[in-house]
Structure 1
């Protein structure tokens, strides 16, 4: 009997527009992102839970608008004149809260991008009122930003996200795996990422790949709170 070899192939996320699955959970947010030439004051804040598809939407917008994507943690080291010569997307923007240098950098970036006639997209897991910003001028600008919310996934979207996450890792699970996971796993995108990553590791070298039995074991091993997988 031949032993199946193990290859730990890194995931390659598919972030094109055609890979973004639209349901009631995210249709409004996508619609607002698509109206980017007409955003009020030229800016939009995309808010949703971790793994909800904010980064995917941001990549779609950057591709269509020609914008540059930057991480909030890098704001203090950026050449503002160069960055603000076009539209910009800042990811995880709430992480600047409490860091005076980062808050001032975001304030200046915000002003320069809009003053130059470009647009600004930001992503966060919550609304500005709970970030704990210290810079009053930045608070006023963030609170005045239009918010597009991505809701927790429905069954259709969670199924699509799981299928995409498996595909990103070049995994083809058995047909009953995704319906089983949707029924019994926590209803969050972050959990979907954890489950698929766990199954990717667990299935390495197994001849049957990702099965329902392996999925049940994964949910038990990950010990999600208040979730019990059946036999």
Structure 2
């Protein structure tokens, strides 16, 4: 008797999508209201150099993009900043430095940047997953400069904001979901922005692969055996 032949899995061609990073598209909640207030209050900042700290996907880059648009700021990844590039990076008088971390920065470049920004009165907005007080920095003067930078922390979202984020990520992908579906996801996945974004992306891909609408049943199939998701 011939063996059973499994049908090949249908491949899903997921088209790239772009999340809107405008001020109007930023979802506000208790976890990020101080960070949003900082962006909205520019240029009346308590210090010319400020830092937004928070977990992955918390909205740091979104707020940085809003501020960059408003301030005419250039944007540079912390790992890409070199000492020679500092004057050009600050040439507009405003700069975003993304993903600051001790293992990726050129310490002399960062020290030069902070000194030049202070000398010329330039505004700098940095983003990082942790406050610089936790950094192991070899250059003593840089260490003291970083510790003096005011830090605005962004925490994980509360329930209301978390559900709103799920809706936003679905809308960004043109996925239609109802309130029951959103509640189902919100009570079963880790309450983090990164988890919400990844779950919605997986649902979108699975929906396309199976040519099925995004439903609670599809979500249940996707999440059934995933130990990263929390139970009822």
In structure 2, how many angstroms separate the alpha carbons of the residues matched to 1:133 and 1:77? 17
Asked whether the equivalents of residues 10 and 169 of structure 1 are also in contact (C-alpha less than 8 Å), the reply is no
Higher mean C-alpha deviation, range 52-61 or range 114-123: 114-123
In structure 1, how many angstroms separate the alpha carbons of the residues matched to 2:146 and 2:20? 30
Find 1:80's aligned residue among 68, 79, 86: 86
Number of residue pairs matched? 222
Determine helix, strand or coil for the equivalent of 1:184: coil
Determine helix, strand or coil for the equivalent of 1:104: helix
Change (3 A) 1:198 1:103: same
- 1:1-231 mapped onto 2 (5 Å cutoff): 7-76=13-82, 79-85=85-91, 86-94=93-101, 97-98=102-103, 102-224=106-228, 227-228=230-231
Question: How much does 1:205 deviate?
Answer: 4.2
In structure 2, how many angstroms separate the alpha carbons of the residues matched to 1:35 and 1:111? 23
Higher mean C-alpha deviation, range 68-77 or range 147-156: 68-77
In structure 1, how many angstroms separate the alpha carbons of the residues matched to 2:60 and 2:217? 32
Question: How much does 1:14 deviate?
Answer: 0.8
Question: How much does 1:7 deviate?
Answer: 4.2
Asked whether the equivalents of residues 83 and 110 of structure 2 are also in contact (C-alpha less than 8 Å), the reply is no
Determine helix, strand or coil for the equivalent of 1:11: coil
Q: Which of the two has higher C-alpha Rg?
A: 2
Determine helix, strand or coil for the equivalent of 1:41: coil
In structure 1, how many angstroms separate the alpha carbons of the residues matched to 2:97 and 2:73? 10
Question: How much does 1:156 deviate?
Answer: 1.4
Cα deviation digits, residues 106-160 of structure 1 (max 9, x gap) = 1111221232221010001111121211111111111111111111101111112
What's the Cα RMSD here? 2.1
In structure 2, how many angstroms separate the alpha carbons of the residues matched to 1:70 and 1:112? 16
Asked whether the equivalents of residues 84 and 116 of structure 1 are also in contact (C-alpha less than 8 Å), the reply is no
Cα deviation digits, residues 46-86 of structure 1 (max 9, x gap) = 01111001110000100111111111111127622211112
In structure 2, how many angstroms separate the alpha carbons of the residues matched to 1:41 and 1:149? 16
Q: Which has the higher helix share?
A: 1
Determine helix, strand or coil for the equivalent of 2:51: strand
Task: Give unmatched runs, 5+ long, in structure 1.
Answer: none
Normalising to structure 2: TM-score of the pair?
A: 0.88
Task: Give unmatched runs, 5+ long, in structure 2.
Answer: 1-9
Change (3 A) 1:123 1:11: same
Normalising to structure 1: TM-score of the pair?
A: 0.88
